[in-house]
Amino acid sequence: MRRYEWALLEALEATPQFTTPEGSVLDPQLRYRFDAASRAFIAAERGLDGRTLRYIEQGDWQHEGLANALKAVMRAALAPHLGSTVLRSRELMLDLARRRHRP
């Protein structure tokens, strides 16, 4: 499901840049929030830890405990493009799976 959302972000040329707005590498010891305007991450008291964001950047999405962080990043990155529209990725994937299994 997240791969679908990532592909959508790629099509929109809106994938997150896993750096600070200045282009610095994310510190694994700090926490960050996504800034949609710069498509980068800003140090924040609350947010996702830099280590987790590095796993996401590397495409290691199967790493234990990443599901919620990955969902948060995707939602934040897609929000400016969706406005008040809800992206129903889960429902879409379930519908596609049902259609594939029909006789």
pTM of the model: 0.76
- Decide: residue 91, CB within 10 A, 0-12 exposed, 13-18 middle, 19+ buried: exposed
Q: List the chain domain ranges.
A: 2-100
Sequence-separated (6 or more) residues with CB below 8 Å from residue 13: none
Dihedral over alpha carbons 42, 33, 4, 60 (to 10 degrees): 80
CA atoms 27, 34, 9, 94: torsion sign: positive
Homologous superfamily (CATH) of 2-100 is Recombination protein O, C-terminal domain (1.20.1440.120)
pLDDT category, 103, cuts 50, 70, 90? Answer: low
pLDDT tens string 41-59: 999 999 999 999 999 998 8
Distance CA 54, CA 58 (A): 6
Answer whether residue 69 shows pLDDT above 70: yes
54 SS3 class? helix
Answer whether residue 63 shows pLDDT above 80: no
